[in-house]
Structure formats: structure tokens, C-alpha cells
């Protein structure tokens, strides 16, 4: 893990490119200087405006054709769901399907399974997470999964977290992309080595989860005056793991560049919106990695995927709020995934 001093030095030398709704804005030095540094440091192409970035997301979306078979557009797994929380894994898994995955699996505890199944016949639900062979039970599905979303509704039971540790180790060994959210981030704050340097990991912390992670990894409280630098530093300290810090504006970094998504959302803060984001991101990460850096103009595919998931979640929130106002819930947002996706990426 990078030391605090090393992380600080790296921040100073990194290219910081921030994305705003009106176009890309740059934090720190003037535009030309930062773009020059971007080329100098990592030979990355620079994204110049919002439309260009949306175009990169559009580039990674696989065409709908009659030539494909079931599964090719995504088989996503969600690890989470326990006695207390059944909604969160449902929201994540159904969002993956609504974005365009073909199959969505949930790996949860035995007693959560019938509840989650009853929400939707479209999900494949495995009641294995609290079984004695849980790691093997999930592990045998891994070769058939394109991405794993770890944490929504997982809870913080020690035995379950130790099982999830094993699942993360096997996933990493098999090169399966992982999106870590909610209680999965609780585990990472305790054992950052689990994802240290793993280039196919994306962390999606909310405000609280980001503070917890930063304190655990960097050892000091978050500098709230500079959210972009805080995210950049955390990503660098974790060995360029992609970090998506959710909030009034979503800040995304792979330790080299920083994007900011301020797509208009809504003022409604009902629970479950982050689950919609992490499930969507599971599919977009798969599509982005499949498309490769040629389609993302040299930018990290994971950054482009994260920008896509953030803008989509916020657009769902905006559209649902226009219809339902204060009574908007995450279920209303999920009903907007299709129209929001079309309006952002298919028009």
C-alpha cells in the first residue's frame, strides 16, 4: 500500500480531469496545463466535453442483434441479502437486468432467499451464503459470471464477512471484475489488502463509507474542502482501484484521472439508490471491459462504466421524482431505468 507521503506526491503529479454537467471543468491548474500533463504522465487522451463522455458510454453498449445467445450481454452476480436486508440485493440484481444483462444471480443467506425470490421471478437466487461450503458454492458459478457486485444487504456478521473474504479472493484469482458496495466496503476498510492493486475492482462508497475507508487506508480524516483530491488519493493508495464517491456530485477516480458526474438527479434521498447504481455498474463494467480501451478513447473502461452508472442512476431519480415527487422510492426509479437509459445513451 502506498504510504501517505507517496500518495501525496502522486497526487501532485497526477492529471485531474473533472466532468461537470455543462462540460468538463478542470480542478487546479488551467485547462491547457492539465491536459498537457495528462498526455505527459499517462499518454491518456483527454475528454473534452460532456457529450464526448456520453459518447464513450454509448460506444461500450453492445448492439442488440438476433445473432447472440442468452448470457452474452451479461451474467451478473450479487453477493448480499441476509435476515435484515432483502431489498438491497433485489434492487442491485433487478437493476442489472433492467440495464440489459441477460441473467442476474443473487447469492444470499438461506432465510433471505425465499423473500428475494418472491419479489421477482426474474432473479436466480442461491441460498448459499451461510452454508458451510459457501465459498465453493459461489466459486463454482464464478467462471460463468461476468461481474460480481459484493455487499448490498450483506450485513456485518463476522462469519458472513469471512465467507465474502474468501469469495473476493477466488474472484480476484479468476480475474472476475468486482463492484464493492455497502457492507462489502465495511470488510475492505478492515482488510484493504483484499483488493489492493486489483485493476478490476470498483468501490462505490457513500459519504459515510468513504470516510471510513479513507481513515482506514490513509490514516487521516477526509479533507472535505477538496473531494476530487480525496478520491484521487484513496484510489492511488489502493493501487489504482477505481473509486466512485457518491454524493451531491459523484466523484470517480482511477488514481490517474478524476471525473465528476453532476447529471441532474433529485432531492429525494430514499434508501436503495446506491444499490441501483452498483447493480447497473456490474453490467456496464462488463460491457466496458469487453469493448476495451479503443472504444473508450484510451480512457480506463472502468471510469467510463462508472460515469455511465452514475449518470443513469441520477437520471432515474430525476425522472421518477418528476412523476412521484416526495413519494418517490427506489422501485419508482427502477421503473425508469429503460426510459432513462434511452434518453441518455440511445438518442
Ligand X SMILES: NC(=O)C1=CN([C@@H]2O[C@H](COP(=O)(O)OP(=O)(O)OC[C@H]3O[C@@H](n4cnc5c(N)ncnc54)[C@H](OP(=O)(O)O)[C@@H]3O)[C@@H](O)[C@H]2O)[C@@H](O)CC1
Ligand Y SMILES: Nc1ncnc2c1ncn2[C@@H]1O[C@H](COP(=O)(O)OP(=O)(O)OP(=O)(O)O)[C@@H](O)[C@H]1O
Instruction: Could you list the residues known to form a binding site for (6S)-NADPHX, using ranges.
Output: 153, 206-212, 275
Contacts of 271 (CB under 8 A, 6+ apart): 87, 330
Site membership for Mg ion, residue 129 (CB under 5 A): no
Best CA proximity match to 106, nearest among 122, 98, 310: 122
Residue 240 to residue 300: CA distance in whole angstroms: 11
Looking at beta carbons, which residue is closest to ligand Y? 274
Per-residue cell: 325: 415527487
Q: Between 100 and 152, name the residue whose CB sits nearer to ligand X.
A: 152
Q: Is 182 in the site for ligand Y (CB under 6 A)?
A: yes
Pairwise CA distance, residues 189 & 213, whole Å? 5
For ligand X, the binding residues (CB under 6 A) are 85, 87-88, 152-155, 182-183, 206-209, 271-272, 274-275
The three cell numbers locating residue 210: 468513504
* Binding string, residues 294-313; x marks residues near ligand Y by CB under 6 A: ----------------x--x
- Taking CB under 5 A as the criterion, the residue among 56, 61, 148, 182 binding Mg ion is 182
Q: Which amino acids are annotated as binding site for ATP, given as ranges?
A: 246-250, 265-274
Q: By CB under 6 A, tell whether 274 contacts ligand Y.
A: yes
Residue 69: burial class (beta carbons within 10 Å; 0-12, 13-18, 19+): exposed
| Interstrand relation of 103-107 and 178-180 (parallel, antiparallel or unpaired) | unpaired
87 binding partner (options Mg ion, ligand Y, ligand X, none; Cβ < 5 to 8 Å by kind): ligand X
Largest CA distance in the chain: 57
Taking CB under 6 A as the rule, does residue 265 contact ligand Y? Answer: yes
Smallest gap from residue 177 Cβ to ligand X (A) = 19
CB closer to ligand Y out of 38 and 310: 310
Residue 255 near which of Mg ion, ligand Y, ligand X, none (CB within 5-8 Å, type-dependent): none
Binding residues: 153, 206-212, 246-250, 265-275
Distance between CA atoms of residues 203 and 311, nearest Å: 16
**Contacted entry of ligand Y, Mg ion, ligand X, none for residue 299, CB cut-off 5 to 8 Å set by kind:** none
Among 32, 51, 248, 346, interactor with ligand Y by CB under 6 A? 248
Find out whether 135 and 170 touch, Cβ atoms under 8 Å.
yes
- Residue 250 touches which of Mg ion, ligand Y, ligand X, none (Cβ within 5-8 Å per kind): ligand Y
Q: Which stretches of the chain bind ligand Y, using CB under 6 A?
A: 182, 206, 246-248, 250, 265, 269, 271-275, 277, 310, 313-314
Amino acid at each position: 500500500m502506498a504510504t501517505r507521503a507517496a500518495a501525496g506526491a502522486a497526487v501532485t503529479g497526477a492529471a485531474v480531469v473533472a466532468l461537470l454537467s455543462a462540460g468538463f471543468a478542470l480542478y487546479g491548474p488551467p485547462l491547457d496545463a492539465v491536459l498537457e500533463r495528462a498526455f505527459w504522465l499517462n499518454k491518456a487522451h483527454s475528454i473534452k466535453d460532456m457529450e464526448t463522455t456520453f459518447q464513450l458510454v454509448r460506444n461500450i453498449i453492445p448492439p442488440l442483434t438476433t445473432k447472440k445467445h442468452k448470457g452474452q450481454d451479461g451474467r451478473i452476480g450479487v453477493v448480499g441479502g441476509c435476515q435484515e436486508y432483502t431489498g438491497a440485493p433485489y434492487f442491485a440484481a433487478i437493476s442489472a437486468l433492467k440495464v440489459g444483462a441477460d441473467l442476474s444471480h443473487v447469492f444470499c443467506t438461506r432465510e433471505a432467499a425465499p423473500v428475494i425470490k418472491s419479489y421477482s421471478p426474474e432473479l436466480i437466487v442461491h441460498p448459499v451464503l451461510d452454508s458451510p461450503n459457501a465459498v465453493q458454492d459461489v466459486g463454482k458459478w464464478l467462471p460463468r459470471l461476468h461481474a460480481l457486485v459484493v455487499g448490498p444487504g450483506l450485513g456485518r456478521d463476522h462469519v458472513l464477512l469471512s465467507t465474502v473474504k474468501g469469495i473476493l479472493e477466488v474472484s480476484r484469482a479468476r480475474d472476475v471484475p468486482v463492484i464493492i458496495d455497502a457492507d462489502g466496503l465495511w470488510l475492505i476498510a478492515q482488510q484493504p489488502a483484499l483488493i489492493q492493486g486489483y485493476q478490476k475492482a470498483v468501490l462505490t462508497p457513500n459519504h459515510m463509507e468513504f470516510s471510513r475507508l479513507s481513515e482506514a487506508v490513509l490514516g487521516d480524516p477526509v479533507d472535505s474542502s477538496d473531494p476530487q483530491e480525496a478520491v484521487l488519493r484513496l484510489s492511488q493508495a489502493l493501487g489504482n482501484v477505481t473509486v466512485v464517491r457518491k454524493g451531491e456530485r459523484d466523484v470517480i477516480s482511477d488514481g490517474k484521472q478524476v471525473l465528476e458526474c453532476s447529471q441532474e438527479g433529485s432531492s429525494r434521498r430514499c434508501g436503495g439508490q446506491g444499490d441501483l447504481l452498483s447493480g447497473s455498474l456490474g453490467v456496464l463494467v462488463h460491457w466496458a471491459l469487453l469493448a476495451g480501451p479503443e472504444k473508450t478513447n484510451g480512457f480506463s473502461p472502468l471510469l467510463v462504466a462508472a460515469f455511465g452508472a452514475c449518470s443513469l442512476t441520477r437520471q432515474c431519480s430525476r425522472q421518477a421524482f418528476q412523476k412521484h415527487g416526495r413519494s418517490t422510492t427506489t422501485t419508482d426509479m427502477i421503473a425508469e431505468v429503460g426510459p432513462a437509459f434511452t434518453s441518455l445513451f440511445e438518442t
